[in-house]
């Protein structure tokens, strides 16, 4: 699967009161396409508030919400195994702290730039609001590419990254976690360096920790499981379930693997996964243990899966979204479903799309799903299980407690049900029944906006 940049922006007109604000966002964030896209999507949804909540205009909430509270950019020098000095760029965007300390993951991927980190931080603010937990929004990362690096190189990079980042974070300030390219190994190196510099065993400073040193059960599985729990709630609104469904899941990283696991547990047949080199179709159903072995333990490419699985074939042509399926779960990256992919999915009879990745569908694709009246959930609602479980990790760290897998998983399922119901109820209140995008954006926005009004102009 290849990410393209011909994203269609602004296919629908914004409310007349909001358009001038969007023009300002474009003006002060020139060329930041992903960030503009994320803002545009929220602005499309919040039009009903323009007349009904005059205090938001009085206190310039929208203007303030679109401007990160703090943006940190820093140099990350590190040394390769053969003694070469490399330089990468590090970012932490502390977007909004109205509801709690900044909270959001770190992404290590060569495509990372300020626009991507800002879009992720902006979305995170509303996602975290939807979870009902006391967490603000932030995001960070680096254009460092972990692929092909030795463990020692990854460790030196993480140590250098944290040597700058440590001064900006803390359990009451800003709490990073993982995202693309940052899993348990990287969190370990980052936490180790934080502890060494500060001389504090401050578990609540980072989430996604190992289970023997402050981590929470289910955190690894949470985003993938949560996406499937959310999708299950959506199906239930039409008296349906995952049982017997053909499911296509993009990506083969953390979110994708645990979406495969939960979908299979719910009786679905997952027939395809992908990575940035292509996609694998396995009509016999994805062999989860082999997938985990290839991706988690051996850190190899999907081609290794195909070599060991006679029923599977690897394709580097076309798109994973060309495969006919009942349920599509994008779990790789932003803008992986463009308008023409959405059209193909609908033509092939897709019934449900729930986003495990952040902003995977471009605005044209969203409009196509909504016009077709399929069940469609935006990532800020359906993938919120990861950050919600991070907040549960913070809760356990604060009380020096440790919950069982079953207890935490039940909690996660309840949180996803709660987010689902909030989306449905809010969409209905604002006259857009069944519209998960409107429901998620309005509910997430109102809570942050009300807190900002209460806290004054800061």
Binding site for ligand NDP (CB under 6 A): 1, 3, 109, 111, 178-181, 223, 251-256, 275-277, 331-333, 356-358, 383, 386
10 Å CB burial of residue 82 (0-12, 13-18, 19+) is exposed
Count Cβ atoms below 10 Å from residue 158 Cβ, excluding itself.
28
Q: Residue 136: phi, psi to the nearest 5?
A: -85, -170
190 Ramachandran zone, left/alpha/beta (phi>0; psi -120 to 50): alpha
- Least distance to ligand NDP from the beta carbon of 28, Å? 24
Least Cα distance to 146 among 78, 202, 65 occurs for: 78
**Of 264 and 276, CB closest to ligand NDP:** 276
- Least distance to ligand NDP from the beta carbon of 179, Å? 5
Residue where the block lists tokens 């203007």: 63
Structure tokens at 118: 């800002």
**Of 61 and 175, CB closest to ligand NDP:** 175
Structure tokens at 107: 């992404």
- Least distance to ligand NDP from the beta carbon of 280, Å? 11
**Of 49 and 323, CB closest to ligand NDP:** 323
Count Cβ atoms below 10 Å from residue 128 Cβ, excluding itself.
31
- Least distance to ligand NDP from the beta carbon of 20, Å? 31
Using Cβ positions, the residue closest to ligand NDP within the complex turns out to be: 253
Q: Which of 26, 118, 139, 245 is catalytic?
A: 139
**Of 22 and 102, CB closest to ligand NDP:** 102
- Least distance to ligand NDP from the beta carbon of 243, Å? 25
Instruction: Work out whether strand 312-315 and strand 278-282 pair parallel, antiparallel, or are unpaired.
Output: antiparallel
**Of 18 and 335, CB closest to ligand NDP:** 335
Least Cα distance to 203 among 165, 177, 180 occurs for: 177
- Least distance to ligand NDP from the beta carbon of 420, Å? 16
Instruction: Work out whether strand 137-142 and strand 174-177 pair parallel, antiparallel, or are unpaired.
Output: unpaired
| CA distance linking residue 128 with residue 209, whole number of Å | 19
Task: Assign 222 to helix, strand or coil.
Answer: helix
139 in catalytic set: yes
**Of 194 and 305, CB closest to ligand NDP:** 305
The alpha carbons of the chain give a radius of gyration, in whole angstroms, of: 21
Show which residues are catalytic: 139
């Amino acid at each position: 699967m290849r990410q393209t940049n011909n994203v269609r922006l602004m296919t629908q007109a914004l409310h007349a009161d909001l358009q001038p604000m969007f023009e300002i966002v474009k003006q002060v964030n020139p060329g930041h396409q992903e960030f503009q896209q994320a803002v545009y999507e929220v602005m499309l949804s919040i039009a009903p508030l323009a007349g009904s909540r005059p205090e938001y205009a009085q206190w310039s909430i929208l203007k303030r919400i679109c401007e990160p509270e703090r943006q940190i950019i820093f140099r990350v020098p590190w040394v390769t195994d053969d003694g070469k000095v490399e330089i990468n760029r590090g970012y932490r965007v502390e977007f909004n702290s109205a509801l709690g300390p900044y909270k959001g993951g770190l992404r290590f991927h060569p495509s990372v730039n300020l626009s991507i980190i800002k879009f992720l931080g902006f979305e995170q603010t509303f996602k975290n609001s939807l979870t009902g937990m006391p967490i603000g929004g932030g995001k960070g990362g680096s254009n460092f590419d972990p692929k092909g690096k030795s463990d020692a190189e990854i460790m030196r990079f993480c140590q250098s990254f944290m040597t700058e980042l440590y001064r900006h974070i803390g359990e009451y300030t800003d709490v990073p976690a993982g995202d693309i390219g940052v899993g348990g190994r990287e969190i370990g190196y980052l936490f180790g360096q934080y502890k060494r510099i500060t001389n504090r065993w401050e578990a609540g400073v980072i989430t996604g920790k190992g289970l023997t040193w402050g981590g929470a059960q289910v955190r690894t599985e949470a985003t993938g499981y949560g996406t499937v729990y959310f999708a299950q709630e959506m199906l239930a609104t039409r008296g349906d379930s995952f049982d017997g469904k053909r499911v296509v899941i993009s990506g083969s990283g953390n979110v994708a693997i645990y979406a495969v696991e939960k979908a299979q547990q719910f009786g679905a047949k997952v027939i395809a996964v992908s990575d940035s080199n292509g996609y694998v179709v396995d009509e016999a159903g994805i062999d989860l243990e082999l997938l985990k072995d290839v991706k988690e333990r051996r850190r190899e490419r999907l081609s290794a899966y195909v070599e060991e699985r006679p029923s599977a074939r690897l394709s580097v042509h076309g798109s994973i979204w060309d495969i006919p399926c009942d349920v599509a779960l994008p779990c790789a990256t932003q803008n992986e479903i463009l308008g023409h992919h959405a059209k193909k999915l609908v033509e092939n009879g897709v019934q449900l799309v729930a986003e495990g990745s952040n902003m995977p569908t471009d605005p044209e694709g969203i409009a196509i799903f909504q016009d077709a009246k399929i069940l469609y959930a935006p990532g800020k609602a359906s993938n919120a299980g990861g950050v919600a479980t991070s907040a549960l990790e913070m809760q356990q760290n604060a009380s020096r407690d440790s919950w069982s897998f079953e207890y935490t998983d039940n909690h996660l399922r309840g949180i996803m049900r709660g987010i689902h119901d909030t989306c449905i109820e809010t969409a209905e209140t604002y006259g857009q029944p069944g519209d998960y995008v409107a429901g998620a954006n309005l509910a997430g926005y109102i809570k942050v906006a009300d807190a900002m009004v209460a806290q004054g102009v800061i």
